[in-house]
Chains A and B, each alone.
Chain A
Amino acid sequence: MSNTIIKIVNLKRDFKVGSETVHALRGITFSIEEGEFVTIMGTSGSGKSTLLNILGCLDTPTSGDYFLDGISVREMGKNDRATLRNRKIGFVFQSYNLLPKTTALENVELPLLYNPSVSSRERREKAIRALEEVGLHDRINHRSNQMSGGQQQRVAIARAIVNDPVILLADEATGNLDTRTSFEILTLFQRLHDEGRTIIFVTHNPEIAQFSSRNIVLRDGHITEDKTNSSVASAKEVLATLPKENE
Chain B
Amino acid sequence: MNYGNLIRIALRALNNNKFRGFLTMLGIIIGVASVIAMLAIGQGSKRSIREQISEMGSNMIMIHPGQGRFGGVRQSAADMETLKIRDYESIRREVRLIDNCSPSVNASGQVIYGANNSPTTMYGINRDYLDIRKLVVEKGEMFTDHDIATSAKVCVVGTTIVKELFTNGEDPLGKTIRFDKTPFRIIGVLESKGYNSMGQDQDDLILAPYTTVQKRILAITHLQGIYASAVTEEASEPAIEEISAILRQNHNLAADEEDDFNVRSQEELSSMLSSTTELMTVLLACIAGISLLVGGIGIMNIMYVSVTERTREIGLRMSIGAKGRHILFQFLIEAVIISVTGGIIGVLLGIGASMVIKYGIGWPVYIQLYSVVLSFLVCTITGIFFGWYPAQKASNLNPIDAIRYE
Name A residues whose Cβ lies closer than 8 Å to a Cβ of B: 53, 56, 58-59, 78-79, 82-83, 85-87, 91, 93, 97, 99-102, 106, 110-111, 113-116, 159, 163
> With A59-B400, A99-B16 as given contacts, are A114 and B326 in contact (CB-CB < 8 Å)?
yes
> With A97-B316, A99-B313, A116-B5 as given contacts, are A86 and B400 in contact (CB-CB < 8 Å)?
no
Q: Does B254 contact A (CB under 8 A)?
A: no
Q: Tell me, rounded to whole Å, the shortest Cβ–Cβ distance linking A180 to chain B.
A: 27
Q: Tell me, rounded to whole Å, the shortest Cβ–Cβ distance linking B19 to chain A.
A: 10
Q: Is the CB of B320 within 8 A of A85?
A: yes
Contacts of A91 in B (CB 8 A): 319-320
Q: Does B9 contact A (CB under 8 A)?
A: yes
Instruction: Write 7 A-B pairs (CB below 8 A) sorted by A numbering.
Output: A59-B398, A79-B323, A86-B320, A87-B321, A99-B313, A100-B17, A110-B317
Q: Is the CB of B320 within 8 A of A111?
A: yes
Q: Is the CB of A114 within 8 A of B5?
A: yes
Q: Does B225 contact A (CB under 8 A)?
A: no
Contacts of A82 in B (CB 8 A): 318, 321-324
Contacts of B1 in A (CB 8 A): 114, 116
Q: Does B8 contact A (CB under 8 A)?
A: yes
In the A-B complex, the 7 residue pairs with the closest CB atoms: A86-B321, A116-B2, A111-B320, A101-B16, A82-B323, A114-B321, A97-B316
Contacts of A116 in B (CB 8 A): 1-2, 5
Q: Is the CB of A111 within 8 A of B316?
A: no
Q: Is the CB of B17 within 8 A of A97?
A: no
| Contact count A vs B, C-beta below 8 Å | 68
Max count, chain B CB within 10 A of own CB: residue among A97, A113, A163: A113
Q: Is the CB of A113 within 8 A of B399?
A: no
Contacts of A56 in B (CB 8 A): 319
Contact of B312 among A87, A97, A111 (CB under 8 A): A97
Q: Does B403 contact A (CB under 8 A)?
A: yes
Q: Is the CB of A106 within 8 A of B321?
A: no
Q: Mark B371-406, 1 if CB is under 8 A from A, else 0.
A: 000000000000000000000000000111001000
Contact of A78 among B16, B317, B324, B400 (CB under 8 A): B324
Q: Mark B2-15, 1 if CB is under 8 A from A, else 0.
A: 10010011001100
Contact of A159 among B13, B318, B320 (CB under 8 A): B320
Q: Is the CB of A102 within 8 A of B12?
A: yes
Q: Is the CB of B399 within 8 A of A58?
A: yes
Q: Mark B315-351, 1 if CB is under 8 A from A, else 0.
A: 1111111111010000000000000000000000000
> With A58-B400, A97-B312, A101-B17 as given contacts, are A111 and B321 in contact (CB-CB < 8 Å)?
yes
Q: Tell me, rounded to whole Å, the shortest Cβ–Cβ distance linking A93 to chain B.
A: 7
CA distance A102 to B16 in the complex (A): 6
Q: Tell me, rounded to whole Å, the shortest Cβ–Cβ distance linking B54 to chain A.
A: 59
Contacts of B398 in A (CB 8 A): 58-59
Contacts of A101 in B (CB 8 A): 16-17
For residue A50, which residue of chain B has the nearest CB? B400
Q: Mark B245-278, 1 if CB is under 8 A from A, else 0.
A: 0000000000000000000000000000000000
Q: Is the CB of A113 within 8 A of B8?
A: yes
Q: Is the CB of A83 within 8 A of B321?
A: yes
CA distance A87 to B320 in the complex (A): 9
Q: Tell me, rounded to whole Å, the shortest Cβ–Cβ distance linking B366 to chain A.
A: 44
Q: Which of B17-42 contact A (CB under 8 A)?
A: 17
CA distance A98 to B79 in the complex (A): 93
CA distance A115 to B16 in the complex (A): 22
Contacts of A113 in B (CB 8 A): 5, 8-9
Q: Tell me, rounded to whole Å, the shortest Cβ–Cβ distance linking B349 to chain A.
A: 28
Contacts of B17 in A (CB 8 A): 100-101
Q: Tell me, rounded to whole Å, the shortest Cβ–Cβ distance linking B29 to chain A.
A: 23
Contact of B324 among A79, A114, A159 (CB under 8 A): A79
> With A79-B324, A114-B326 as given contacts, are A58 and B319 in contact (CB-CB < 8 Å)?
yes
